[in-house]
């Protein structure tokens, strides 16, 4: 998935380390017993939830899976008492930026030369308040 979804995929060993160290922040989306999406994150300085990677296979995009995966990891962060989520995204990745903006993230910084091709990344943050879905279901 990583190789199909990213121009600069994380090495498998790094993803495996995330899963081993932070299994509670690793979610997959399945369709007919096949993994079609995933999100993975970790805790930074004991207080901020950091989303390391999120991806949905091309043929399964545009169906709300990305938003659901993001919601799942945010809920896991909340459960651990974390009140903020952060991530980096390529300034060129309009679709992912839309996903984050429409999920309540805001751009708080820009890192120069973040990617191997020299392109920049936006840093995006979200304050993790109460879960709106849970509120609506009350």
Should residue 89 be labelled a site residue for ligand COA when binding is judged by CB under 6 A?
yes
* Dist. CA 79–CA 125, nearest whole Å: 18
Should residue 64 be labelled a site residue for ligand COA when binding is judged by CB under 6 A?
yes
Should residue 109 be labelled a site residue for ligand COA when binding is judged by CB under 6 A?
no
Among 15, 40, 52, 65, binds ligand COA (CB under 6 A): 65
Among 28, 93, 120, 123, binds ligand COA (CB under 6 A): 93
Among 30, 31, 34, 62, binds ligand COA (CB under 6 A): 62
- Round the CA-based radius of gyration of the chain to a whole number and report it: 15
Three-state SS for 49-117 is EEEEEEEECHHHCCCCHHHHHHHHHHHHHHHCCCCEEEEEEECCCHHHHHHHHHCCCEEEEEECCCCCC
Query: Can you give the binding site for ligand COA, defined by CB under 6 A?
Result: 5-6, 54-56, 61-67, 89, 93, 95-96, 98-99, 102
């Amino acid at each position: 998935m990583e190789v199909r979804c990213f121009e600069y995929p994380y090495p498998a060993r790094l993803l495996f380390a995330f899963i081993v160290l932070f299994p509670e922040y690793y979610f997959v989306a399945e369709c007919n017993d096949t993994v079609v999406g995933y999100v993975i994150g970790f805790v930074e300085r004991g207080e901020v939830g950091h989303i390391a990677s999120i991806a949905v296979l091309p043929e399964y995009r545009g169906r709300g899976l990305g938003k659901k995966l993001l919601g799942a990891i945010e809920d896991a962060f909340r459960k651990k008492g974390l009140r903020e989520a952060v991530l980096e995204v390529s300034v060129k990745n309009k679709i992912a930026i839309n996903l984050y903006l429409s999920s309540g993230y805001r751009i708080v910084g820009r890192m120069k030369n973040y990617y191997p091709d020299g392109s920049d990344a936006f840093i995006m943050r979200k304050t993790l308040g109460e879960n709106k879905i849970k509120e609506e279901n009350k």
